[in-house]
A and B are shown apart, each in its own frame.
Chain A
Amino acid sequence: GNSVTQMEGPVTLSEEAFLTINCTYTATGYPSLFWYVQYPGEGLQLLLKATKADDKGSNKGFEATYRKETTSFHLEKGSVQVSDSAVYFCALSDPYGSEKLVFGKGTKLTVNP
């Protein structure tokens, strides 16, 4: 079945540090790939997405590239801010049927001043 594996947290960084959160997936067909962010006590917000191989999604300084050959969609940001502290979820869409989302377990990021 479809699955998403993302790096275990928590991740703690200093402000302006470089961020990478690894995400790999297993899927039949050609899913779309997503990163969602969840701030404390809130619901999920779509951060970025990519719908086909070699697409790069980007938003708010975050980037991720859909790598079909390595089945990966790693999240990167060149310089994190305290306000980026949140839980980040990698997800894929089920390309058949209802297009429900399959999520990784999430990675908690804390950015210290």
Chain B
Amino acid sequence: QVQVVESGGGVVQPGRSLRLSCAVSGFTFSRYGMHWVRQAPGKGLEWVAAISDSAKQIYYADSVKDRFTISKDKSKNMVYLQMNSLTNEDTAVYFCARDLRDSWSFDYWGQGTPVTVSS
């Protein structure tokens, strides 16, 4: 069965960096794009970034553009989110989700990893 498991969250000071990881299994990773979606405490969902199946197309929300980098390692079935220049507004639970092919949606989600930016 499809599994999506995030890791790497924690407490980090403003201005510092953090890398989140997402391990996937149960499907042919090379055929699917992946997304990161976040949810600030008590708030709604916010789409963060997407990477295509081939990794040739990458997209970011304006709020993280030029600070966050999404990538994937096909040999390890892993997706990453490198987060730089973190601010308090980046505090959230970060979810990794599989792209629903040809439907521009997200079908399988991980349980999320919490990130707290605080001094």
- Co-assembled chains A and B: no
Which A residues are within 8 Å of any B CB, using their own CB? none
